[in-house]
Each structure stands twice: as structure tokens, then as C-alpha cells.
Amino acid sequence: MNDTLTLYDTEVTSRFMLGTSLYPSPAIMVDAIKRSACEIVTVSLRRESGSDLEGQGFWEIIKNLDLKVLPNTAGCHTAKEAITTAMMAREVFGTTWVKLEVIGEADTLQPDVFGLVEAAAELTNQGFQVFPYTTDDLVVAERLLEAGCEVLMPWGAPIGSGRGINNPFALRAMRAHFPNVPLVVDAGLGKPSHAAQAMEMGYDAILLNTAVAKAGDPALMAESFAEALIAGRKAYHADPMEERDMAEPSTPVLGQAFLS
Amino acid sequence: MNDTLTLYDTEVTSRFMLGTSLYPSPAIMVDAIKRSACEIVTVSLRRESGSDLEGQGFWEIIKNLDLKVLPNTAGCHTAKEAITTAMMAREVFGTTWVKLEVIGEADTLQPDVFGLVEAAAELTNQGFQVFPYTTDDLVVAERLLEAGCEVLMPWGAPIGSGRGINNPFALRAMRAHFPNVPLVVDAGLGKPSHAAQAMEMGYDAILLNTAVAKAGDPALMAESFAEALIAGRKAYHADPMEERDMAEPSTPVLGQAFLS
Amino acid sequence: MNDTLTLYDTEVTSRFMLGTSLYPSPAIMVDAIKRSACEIVTVSLRRESGSDLEGQGFWEIIKNLDLKVLPNTAGCHTAKEAITTAMMAREVFGTTWVKLEVIGEADTLQPDVFGLVEAAAELTNQGFQVFPYTTDDLVVAERLLEAGCEVLMPWGAPIGSGRGINNPFALRAMRAHFPNVPLVVDAGLGKPSHAAQAMEMGYDAILLNTAVAKAGDPALMAESFAEALIAGRKAYHADPMEERDMAEPSTPVLGQAFLS
Amino acid sequence: MNDTLTLYDTEVTSRFMLGTSLYPSPAIMVDAIKRSACEIVTVSLRRESGSDLEGQGFWEIIKNLDLKVLPNTAGCHTAKEAITTAMMAREVFGTTWVKLEVIGEADTLQPDVFGLVEAAAELTNQGFQVFPYTTDDLVVAERLLEAGCEVLMPWGAPIGSGRGINNPFALRAMRAHFPNVPLVVDAGLGKPSHAAQAMEMGYDAILLNTAVAKAGDPALMAESFAEALIAGRKAYHADPMEERDMAEPSTPVLGQAFLS
Amino acid sequence: MNLTVNGQAHKSDAVTLTALLEELGYKDATVATARNGEFVSATSRDVEQVEDGDKIEILAPMKGG
Amino acid sequence: MNLTVNGQAHKSDAVTLTALLEELGYKDATVATARNGEFVSATSRDVEQVEDGDKIEILAPMKGG
Amino acid sequence: MNLTVNGQAHKSDAVTLTALLEELGYKDATVATARNGEFVSATSRDVEQVEDGDKIEILAPMKGG
Amino acid sequence: MNLTVNGQAHKSDAVTLTALLEELGYKDATVATARNGEFVSATSRDVEQVEDGDKIEILAPMKGG
């Protein structure tokens, strides 16, 4: 089964995008990334500081992995901040990809959909390929597509909450509404069963970080998510049975012995 | 990681037990079993009929797979019927294992826990190794253990319903109550994410049939379940993060640029 | 609308049965009972002690309320204990009613369905009218009816947990299976919306204690539960709409102006 | 307990707002409205047609009820349409209140949050008191408040779906985020238990139509919703117990007899 | 003069909105009016000219959710 | 004679349950009694002998859920 | 002799279960047998008499869940 | 000349951004720069003047989710 995913002009085999933050150590991060078999990792820009040049060391590690990097605009609260950050990221990371985050609220880290659409349009105009971190709002999704986005990344639940898909109804509606747009569940997944569920619903990929990095054994958890994703994707292709309310015997009733 | 499962005196590597019923064809069944990588298949006894000897052909196919067989007592509504069926199965299949079903209600195919405990005790006395299909009732579970069962198989939902785990609270309580008894979720799972969830909850194995056999592509679904099980088991070992209500940024806040 | 409920030979108007334990004070208990408008309260037997004769005072308070009392066998772990307790209660409280509890497990306080059925049969033989605290197991329910019970009281969730209905699927199946038996959700409800839900599902009554007694304002909560019960019952009679997946406009589409 | 609700400068006692559409007959509508005890009904504007002047008759009926009317802009898909409709409604209904709907998607009838904020700002400038039908998006909510809205009406589920609160997590977050803004759950509720739940969560009021109008007995259902709302509000004030995972006996353990 | 009134083609010689309403039998009805997508208040109807090709909306109170 | 009354050791010379109740001050109380796990009805207390080592339960109405 | 074999009426002169199986063409088949609801092991079939009115079950391996 | 570099007060005589980076030891580092909230590309740093009161951001690759 050839089942690759095309994100803008890039074809990937793995449907797992993994964050690079919050790991107990760089070595564990590298191990987790390798065992996830992911082809895309997310990174950010932060202030370089002091003489240790922490960022340079991090960047060496990432470059050695030889993966696609997807820089984010985490922490930006306005379109302008996000746009400037994206331009800085393009230069540093040498990619036109950007995971566009415009954060609107501190407790839930939910997107500011107004700033998001504005920044997506401007960045697309400037030649970026935007991966917008968005909500499950279908109208916002339409606006992002009109702004030039060719991928949508709705949240499953608040970033780092690990709650899984808070509103499966809404994500199902989104999948049905945009059958041909690559849809990535970004944020909020906590367990591999959540990832399998997303894939069974027909989502194209998963992006996460905390659930792997904060597991007791991040590398093992990365492997687990990777396998659950693949399993969920196969289930989607295998066309699951419909749920029923009543039971139905699996063992044949015909030929049942009379032994009483 | 050595992570085998011991069921009575038998050690297995696969935690997936698969039924042999409801497939579109014997060839598809064989393909599904092989791709499930399961080591245990369930079978039944039914009336041999006519000149075609359907049962003999089926049995040849199963023997050629060289797996452990777990005969069931599906369709039995009394302890006596189940006991007689078990004795017949032991002779035919050459195994002391029996998946003990004493059905109590037609709409849900739920176990009759009274007949179940009675039959489990008698069969254990007669040298059987009983795998009881039971509910999530902890007291019934205790009785089954007292009757000599060394494995418990609570239902997730009605047989063939594909609903997944109807009462996660109860199954979690059962896992906590019997930390050292092999626990198998038997019946009601519909999608690989359900299987992953059961494994994440610490269940030891899964038994199912309909969800694979009635999928559009049974063999692919079998593979999907097998991988989801493995993923869920790894997640259990990897110690998942705790769910949180509030968001927590994955990308570091420290070093955030000021760009507005 | 005449909508009384007949429990054995007694007709009641209120469908709310309220416990008498855990209140901050006797005065608050009396207030809560009055505002609940319940006609049945549950009581227990405990060792009389010392010179204060606490039990006598409690009993005076209850007698003055002039309600039906339903003595329980709380804390009994065997059929024998429950039977003896029931006989003592019949003498003291002057009623053949008994809320039969045979507890099987300490963490969940779930019924021991084996002891329950045994005690129900014996007590019925001795002239009791048994209100069995049971699980959502349909086969156990059948046995209780065969034993002579004319009311069933399945749990919603563990006693005192306040979780609401843990397994709506199972309680719905029970309602469908026993359309003509008075069914009371006993234990586990925490909020009035849970009570309304049970009544909407067609349950005949609710029994609870902790959710009222442990509320910040027990009397107000009692009133709230009473109203929610009545509301839920009316909704059941009013035949609710079916859930839909897609939206449907409430305001007419016909005659929509064209204003763009 | 004085527990009125202030919506703009109007104080109401009832927390139930009821729609006037979809009833089997005008008489049943009137009966349902009366038994709901609501003080606010929603109405719309549609093309007057032919010689029967259906709208005039409807308006006479509504005026005779002597309630506050809340005209909606149902069916409007742009800010401009909604603004024009609101101005027409103000003249006809003689009120500055408007339930602002700017619909963005046909299958879910979800709000177009961009058009909504734009129209809310313009209408506020023109002296309207806007009741915006919105999503559970906190950033959109902030924008609506900035635009001058003093009430927010997030949806529970798609209009007319009767599913109840699809995303309780998000509505809880909204309540926590805006402790002092009147919040009304508008759309998607199907049963009185849903309304009780919303009130228990601290929501200030409920607006619905289909669940009453399409019930088998609309007037009885209206009464049921009204009571469930009141019950849920009381429960909110009475401070419900916390949910627990483990059981806790309600009947005292102290003084338990020893009878075995 | 060809108008579209509430979505229907309508021939009329009415010069003002007031005249049009009268012609249509809505003189005393509680209605709101719009011309070509713009609200026309009741007090302006006497002076609001109707022109060939106009799209007129005449809306009345109706049930709503 | 050594009894266990409601779980407490108790020395008594009461010959019957009635006498024991009186001795304990429960003569007029609303209580139910059991001896060694068996219910003893109020009407039998006069004749129900109490013996050395007996376990007596004297129960009163109490709050319950 | 009238038997019920696997739920069907069957006339037979077979004296033993072994004979009955042979008569039915199941001589070499992998089957288990029960007579009137009681299991009859393969080793007992030679000696297990079949009598008029007997209900015989002859079961074979079959798919199961 | 008083600058704010990455949020810290910094005194410098650097005329261009390139000079400032050199002064800070970031000459060979992989960094992106912004001046007063506007991106300054690497190729413009030689000509981008630094002025008193400027807010300079010098950002490096970092972990992100």
C-alpha cells in the first residue's frame, strides 16, 4: 500500500510530527525522535544567550538528524510578532515551512483566529508554506484555505493537556467538510489510543510533543505513538465495522447443539 | 523488553486472541490470522452435517496454522450445556483450555454469572483450564478465581457491538483490584484505538472476532489491531503523562523574543 | 397528569427516596427531607450505646416526619447478616420493606450478587418486600424477580462517588428489558442533572443520600434534586426529540429575505 | 433567594429564553410559552406574503403574550445582511435587542466569527444591545466584549441537533474565563438534563427552540425545561459535592452490628 | 416599471415605497422595508423613490429560534 | 457470667434478654436484639436465656443511606 | 429404532454409537459425541448402546469467536 | 549608546548589526536578527545602522513543540 502524505510539495511517509522540547536530555530527545521514525520535527527560535550558545548546540543536534524541520511561532500573540518570527525562522532554518501559532489566551493556549488568518495571508504572500495551528472552527478553516494554506492543524485539546480529542463531533465535521485538505491534529493528545482514534477518523497526521517528552520513557512512548498512528491509519483503510447497540453472536448459531 | 504473557502454564508473546468466525471466506480468515500474528485462535463445536463435512475442512485449515486453539462454549445457556460442550471440545481439539461462555440474555449476550461460576468450578475440578467470559463485576471475578480460574475475560461491550469499552471506570477498578491476574478484554471492541486504550489501562490481552472479520479488509484490520495492541502495551510500560485541565506550553517560555 | 408510582402495594407520588445520613446536623436533615418532598426515607440499625441513647432520639425525629421508612442492611457482607438485620429492622421499624444491601467489595461497595439473590429469596419467603440494591446485570435482575422482588434498584455508580450514571448503555438496556418493573437508580448520582437524565431514560425513581447531605446547602440541594426529578419525568412523558448529527434551522428558511 | 439576571438594563427572573418556531400549531406554541414561564421569546423577520398576511397574525399572538421579544438575524450569512436585518427588526419589534446570528456553514449552522464580530461592533455603534450567537472560542468572546456586547451566547451543539453540550471542557473554560459576563447556552440542547447541566456549570441562562417545539408534547416539555433550569440553578447555588473515584459508605460504619 | 418584490417579479407604477405598500395591500401591516439591500425606515417611505429594476424586501414578524 | 454486648465485654447476672436490657437501661428503648447472630424477637426476650460467652447485639434506629 | 441425530429424525439399526457414526459416514471424521445430553467419549462409543428415542449429538470443529 | 539586546540593557559603540554581533561573540553563530520589531536579514546586517535606544533581538534555534 502506497500511502504517502503530501504537505505542500513535500511527500512524507511518516504521519507523525514530533516536537523537540521538554525532554529530560538531548540524548533522550534524539533517541525518541529516532524511534518515532518521524520525518518532520518542530523547532522554535529563542534568544541566544551568554557564552554557552545553547542554541548552536541544539541546532547541531537537529541538523545531524537530517529531517525536515518545521519552525513554529510559539509564544507570539499578534500577527505581527508571528510574521517577524516566521521571517527570522526562514532565514535560520532555511525553510519556507512555518507552523503558525498566534496565541490568544493564556490558560488554554488557544489560537487567536483573527491574528492567525491575518498572519497566514501575509506569510503566504511572502512565499511561506503555512501550517496553521487552529481550532475546530470550520469558518476559520475556510478563511485559512482562502489565505493560501494547504494544510490545516486543528487542536485536539489545549497544548500540553494530554486530554485527547475534546470534541470528536467537531473534528469529524471538519474531516467531512474538507475531504481533500491534509488535516493534522496538533496539540492535546496524551496517549497513543488518542492518536489511533484521530487516524481512524481519517485525519492525515498528528503533531505532538508533551505526551512523548513527559512520558516516563520518552523513546518507548515515541515508538508507541508511531505504531498506534500506523495502526489507526490501516484501520481507516480497512473500513471498520459500524457500531451496534445490540449484541450479535460471532460464533454461528446454526448447528448449535442441543445438550440440555 | 521481554514482555511475555503466561496463561496457565503457557507463555505467549502475542497478546491478541482472534476468533475464526464471520469472515468472507476461509482464505481471508487465514490471511487475517496470519497478519494478526496471534498465537491463539478461538473455535467452537457445531453439528457436523451432510456429506460435505464442513467441520472437517475447517479443522484442517486451523491445524495447518499450528496455533494454540481456545474452544468456546458459545451458545450455551446453562452450566450443564457448557460443561458437556467443554468435555466434547477437549476430546476433539486435544486441549484442556476452554473459553467458558454461559449466556444469560439474548439482546446483550451477557454472561449468566451464576451458571458461569458453577461451570467454572466443575470444569476446573475436571482438569480444565478455564478462560471465563465474564462481566466487570468484581465479586463475580473473585468467585471465578476461587473456582480455580487463573485468567479473567471481562467484556468491553456486548459481543459483536463494536462499541469499545462501555464502562472504563469499572474496567479500571477491575485492573486495580486484581493486579496479578491476567485480564483479557473479550468482546465489544470495534476499532484498534479501543484495543490500544485497553492495553494502556494495563489489560494483558484482547480477544475479538467481529471487528476484524466484518471490516472491509479483514486482513488489514487484523494487522492494525495487532499493531495497536503492541503500541498500547508499550505506552503502558512507557508511563503516560497525566491529563491536565489547563494548557502548558511545550515550547520554552524562557528566551521568548519581544517583537511587538 | 396522574403519575403515581406503586412500590409493592404502596402508591407514592414523589419519586425521590432520600437517605438520612451524613448531614451536618439533625435540623438540616429535617429541613432537607422536607424540601425534598420525599415520601420515603432510608434508615439503618446500629448498636445502641451508652446513656445518651442516640438512636432513640434519631427515631423520634424520623417518626415525627410521618413518612414511609425503608430500612437498609448497609454494611452486611453475607446473606445471613442481611437476613438477620432485616428481621431486626422489621420489628423495630414496623415495616416489611427492606432495602437489601449485601456488600461484596470494599472499594466500590458493589453488591455481592450471589448473596443478594440468596437473601432476597429468603426474605421474600419470610414475608418481606425487598428493594434490592443491585448492579446493572440483567441476569441478576431476572434472578431477583424470580426470587420475588417487585422492585429493582441498580446502581448508577459507586455509593457516595457522585459520578452520575457510569454506564448509560447498561441502564438503558435494563429499562428496555424490564418495561414493567419499577426501576430505581440507587447510589452514585451527584448532581440534579444526573437525576433528570435517569428519569428521561424512563427510570421510575431515584434513591440517594450523599449528594444531598454533602452539598454546601443540603436543603437547597434536596429541593433542586426534587425539581430535577420532576422535570426529568415530565420530559420522559413529553417524548424528547431525537438527537441529530447535522444542524437544522429552527427559524424558517422559507421567506428568508435577500439583503446582500 | 433573590436571583435575578440582568441582561443589559433589563432584569429578568426566568433564565429560559424560548423560540417561537417549529410548533405544531400557534395554540400549542402559546401553551408552551406560557408553561415555560419564560420572559423572553425569540422571533424573526420573514417576507410577508399574499393576502393572508401570516406575519401579522403571528405578531398579534406574540404581542398578546406581553413578553420581551428578542429578534434574531437567522439565515444571514454576512455582516451586512445581519445589520440590515437588525435595523428592520428594531423598527418592527420596537426593541434595541438583537440576537445576532451570522451563519458561516450550512451543515453545522455555526457562526461566522469574523462577520459576527464585525456586525456586533457596528450594531453596538448604532445603539443596539447585541446578544451574539457564538462558538466556545475565548478569543472571539473577548472580541465580542470589546465590540460592546454585554452578553455572550455560545452554542452547546449545532442548532436543532439536540445533542446537548458537545464540549463541556470548553464551556467550563469559558465560564471560568468570564466570571462576570452573562453567559447563555444557545442551541443544541435536547433534553432538560442538558439544561440542568449547563446551569450547574454556572451558565446564566438557556436559549432553545427545537427541543421544545419538536417534542411529542411541546407544552409539557417547556414546563420540564423550565423546572430543570431552576433545579440546575439551585444546584449551582447549593454547591455540589465533588466527584470521587472510590465509594464511600453513606450509612455509618460506626456501630455496625456483628451478626455472622 | 419592473420590480422584484420579495423575490417575485412585480410590475408597478408606484412612485414611492408607501405607494407600493398600499398597492400590495400592506398599508396597515406591521412590516419593515429594504430597497436594494438597504434598510428604508417607515418614516422615509413617503420620500423613497422606487425605480425600475429595484429589489424590494417587505418583511413581517415571523416565528424564530 | 461473661458476655459480649455490642462488641464490648460485659459481666452480667441477667438470666434473660429482658433482664439484660433492663440492666443496661434499654428497658423502654426501641431496640432489636440478636443473640449469637440470631434474631430474638421482642416477644421472646422474656424466655430467651442468656448464657456465658454469648454475643448479644442490641440495635437501635440510626441514620442510613 | 427412531433416533434424533443432530436435531433431525433418523431411523437406524445401529447398536452402538460407533456403528451409528459409520452408518452416517462420520467414521473417520473428527467429531465428539453426546447421547441424551451426556458426553460420550470416543473410547466409549464401541460400548455405548443406542436406544430408541435417543437424542444423539455429533459435533465437529467449527469457526467460533 | 544604550541598547536593549535580547531584553537586557547593553552599552555598545557598534555602528552596524554585524558589528554588534561580533562584539557579542555571535559572529559565527546561526542567529536571526530583528531591530525594533522588524526582521533584519543576514545580508542587511552590514548596512543596518544601530541607534541609541534600539531594541535588538538575536534569536537562535531552540527546541519547540
Residue with cell string 434472578? C143
Residue D252 confidence (pLDDT): 86
What's the mean pLDDT in F28-53?
A: 94
Lowest-pLDDT range of C24-33, C49-58, C88-97, C186-195: C49-58
In this predicted structure, the answer to whether residue C1 has a pLDDT above a threshold of 70 is no
Q: Smallest Cβ distance to C258: which of E55, E62, E65? A: E55
The total of other beta-carbon atoms located within 10 Å of residue A251's CB is 28
Task: Report which of C9, C14, C72 is spatially closest to residue C46, judged by C-alpha positions.
Answer: C72
Read off the pLDDT band of B1 (50, 70, 90). Answer: low
Q: Test F59 with C43 for CB contact under 8 angstroms.
A: no
A119 touches chain D (CB under 8 A): no
Q: Smallest Cβ distance to D19: which of E31, E33, E65? A: E65
3-state secondary structure of C56: helix
In this predicted structure, the answer to whether residue C260 has a pLDDT above a threshold of 80 is no
Q: Which of chain E's residues have a Cβ under 8 Å away from the Cβ of C248?
A: none
Task: Report which of H53, G65, E63 is spatially closest to residue B187, judged by C-alpha positions.
Answer: G65
Residue B27 CB contacts under 8 Å (≥ 6 apart), including other chains: none
What's the mean pLDDT in D190-208?
A: 98
Residue B107 confidence (pLDDT): 84
Read off the pLDDT band of C76 (50, 70, 90). Answer: very high
Residue with cell string 414511609? C68
In this predicted structure, the answer to whether residue C246 has a pLDDT above a threshold of 90 is no
Share of chain D above pLDDT 90, in %: 87
In this predicted structure, the answer to whether residue D242 has a pLDDT above a threshold of 80 is yes
Looking at this protein, which amino acid is placed at residue B87? M
Residue B123 CB contacts under 8 Å (≥ 6 apart), including other chains: B82, B83, B86, B98, B100, B130
Q: Test B259 with H63 for CB contact under 8 angstroms.
A: no
Residue C107 confidence (pLDDT): 85
Task: Find the catalytic residue in B63, B80, B99, B214.
Answer: B99
Q: Test B193 with A194 for CB contact under 8 angstroms.
A: yes
Q: Smallest Cβ distance to A159: which of B46, B85, B250? A: B250
**Cβ pair A190, A163 in contact under 8 A:** yes
**Cβ pair B207, B17 in contact under 8 A:** yes
Residue A106 CB contacts under 8 Å (≥ 6 apart), including other chains: none
Distances (CA, A) of A230 to A24, A131, B34: 26, 22, 18
Q: Test A257 with G63 for CB contact under 8 angstroms.
A: no
What's the mean pLDDT in B224-238?
A: 98
ipTM of the complex as predicted: 0.93
Residue C9 confidence (pLDDT): 93
In this predicted structure, the answer to whether residue D54 has a pLDDT above a threshold of 90 is no
Strands E55-63 and D40-47 turn out to be antiparallel
In this predicted structure, the answer to whether residue A1 has a pLDDT above a threshold of 70 is no
Give the bridge partners for G61, in sequence order: B45
In this predicted structure, the answer to whether residue B220 has a pLDDT above a threshold of 70 is yes
Read off the pLDDT band of A52 (50, 70, 90). Answer: confident
Q: What is the average pLDDT value for chain B, to the nearest integer?
A: 95
All partners of chain D with 3 or more CB pairs under 8 angstroms: A, C, E, F
Q: Test C249 with E65 for CB contact under 8 angstroms.
A: yes
3-state secondary structure of E32: strand
Read off the pLDDT band of B2 (50, 70, 90). Answer: confident
3-state secondary structure of B175: helix
D166 touches chain A (CB under 8 A): yes
3-state secondary structure of B85: helix
Read off the pLDDT band of A260 (50, 70, 90). Answer: confident
Distances (CA, A) of G54 to A260, B94, D216, G6, G59: 13, 27, 58, 11, 16
Share of chain B above pLDDT 90, in %: 87
pLDDT (tens digit, 9 = 90+) per residue, B39-60? 999 999 999 877 778 899 999 9
pLDDT (tens digit, 9 = 90+) per residue, C144-182? 999 999 999 999 999 989 999 999 999 999 999 999 999
Residue A30's Cβ-side half-sphere holds a number of Cα atoms within 13 Å equal to 12
pLDDT (tens digit, 9 = 90+) per residue, B121-167? 999 999 999 999 999 999 999 999 999 999 999 999 999 899 999 99
Q: Test D45 with E42 for CB contact under 8 angstroms.
A: no
In this predicted structure, the answer to whether residue D1 has a pLDDT above a threshold of 70 is no
Task: Report which of D245, C170, C185, A163 is spatially closest to residue B156, judged by C-alpha positions.
Answer: C170
Grid cell at residue B30: 487465514
Share of chain B above pLDDT 70, in %: 99
Residue D106 confidence (pLDDT): 85
Buried b (16+ CB within 10 A) or exposed e, C134-159: bbbbbbbbbbbbebebbbbbbbbbbb
Q: Smallest Cβ distance to G65: which of A251, A258, A260? A: A251
In this predicted structure, the answer to whether residue C231 has a pLDDT above a threshold of 90 is yes
**Cβ pair F30, C59 in contact under 8 A:** yes
Measured in angstroms, the CA of D184 and the nearest CA of chain C are apart by 17
Residue C48's Cβ-side half-sphere holds a number of Cα atoms within 13 Å equal to 27
Read off the pLDDT band of A80 (50, 70, 90). Answer: very high
In this predicted structure, the answer to whether residue F40 has a pLDDT above a threshold of 90 is yes
Catalytic residues of A, by residue number, are: 99
Tell me, rounded to whole angstroms, the distance of Cα D149 from its chain centroid. 15
CA C107/CA A141 separation, integer angstroms = 47
**Cβ pair D55, D46 in contact under 8 A:** yes
Residue C26 CB contacts under 8 Å (≥ 6 apart), including other chains: C57, C58, C61
pLDDT (tens digit, 9 = 90+) per residue, A218-247? 999 999 999 999 999 999 999 999 998 888
Lowest-pLDDT range of A46-50, B148-152, D72-76, G25-29: A46-50
Which residue positions in chain E have pLDDT lower than 50? none
In this predicted structure, the answer to whether residue C196 has a pLDDT above a threshold of 90 is yes
**Cβ pair D236, D200 in contact under 8 A:** yes
Residue D22 confidence (pLDDT): 95
Q: Test F34 with D252 for CB contact under 8 angstroms.
A: no
Measured in angstroms, the CA of C258 and the nearest CA of chain E are apart by 7
CA A188/CA A204 separation, integer angstroms = 16
Element containing residue A6 per DSSP (H, E): strand A5-7
In this predicted structure, the answer to whether residue C50 has a pLDDT above a threshold of 80 is no
Distances (CA, A) of A46 to A21, A96, H61: 12, 18, 6
Q: Identify which of A191-205, C49-63, G21-35 has the greatest average pLDDT.
A: A191-205
Residue A25 CB contacts under 8 Å (≥ 6 apart), including other chains: none
In this predicted structure, the answer to whether residue C257 has a pLDDT above a threshold of 70 is yes
Task: Report which of F37, B224, E65 is spatially closest to residue D153, judged by C-alpha positions.
Answer: E65
A33 touches chain D (CB under 8 A): no
Q: What is the average pLDDT value for chain D, to the nearest integer?
A: 95
Output the DSSP codes for chain H.
Answer: -EEEETTEEEE---SBHHHHHHHHT-TTS--EEEETTEEE-GGGTTT-B--TT-EEEEEEEEE--
Tell me which DSSP letter residue D225 carries. H
Residue B44 confidence (pLDDT): 96
Task: Report which of B146, D135, C259 is spatially closest to residue E59, judged by C-alpha positions.
Answer: C259
What is the value of pTM for the model shown? 0.94
Task: Report which of B58, B4, B2 is spatially closest to residue B205, judged by C-alpha positions.
Answer: B4
Judging by beta carbons within 10 Å of its beta carbon (0-12, 13-18, 19+), is residue G7 exposed, middle or buried?
middle
